[in-house]
Amino acid sequence: MAEGLIHCYVHGDELGGDMALHHRMLNVLLRRIWTGQFSAIPCSHLDMINDVEPSSHVCDQCVALGETWPELRMCMICGHVGCCEDSKYQHARRHFEATGHPLIMPYGIRGMNWIWCYEDRALLDPV
């Protein structure tokens, strides 16, 4: 488990005050949209987070199919990068279904700073 990475995501020490507030407010709205509630749902998988490097800077599976994607997600357990659930093939979700790796984060998206747990259906604040 990557203690420094969890500390950054959970405690937000790496974020400036204004940016951290922005992320918390945005995440409250996203949590309401994605889970139907404002309060955080606990996640029992944080100990699975590893200090990983992204496997790619694109969704390799989409590239192989000649497809595009709106956004990318990175698996926080192994670094796999796949397209989001708004894309045609949802490769990040398929990665979870194939591997059981439940934790993802936005990849290459400025201003997005959250962790999603597929298994617990929980949007976690990085701060």
- Domain 3-124 architecture: 2-Layer Sandwich (3.30)
8 alpha-carbon distance from chain centroid: 14
The sign of the CA dihedral 53, 54, 57, 63 is: positive
Paired tokens of 102: 């439940």
Q: Determine contact, residues 50/76, Cβ cutoff 8 Å.
A: yes
Q: Say what the pLDDT of residue 7 is.
A: 36
Averaged over successive runs of 10 residues, the pLDDT of the chain (127 residues) comes to 39 52 66 72 90 96 96 97 95 98 92 88 76
Q: Say what the pLDDT of residue 70 is.
A: 93
**pTM of this structure:** 0.75
Q: Say what the pLDDT of residue 35 is.
A: 74
Q: Which of 125, 126, 127 is nearest to 28 (CA)?
A: 125
Q: Say what the pLDDT of residue 124 is.
A: 85
Strand-pairing partners, residue 117, are 103, 122
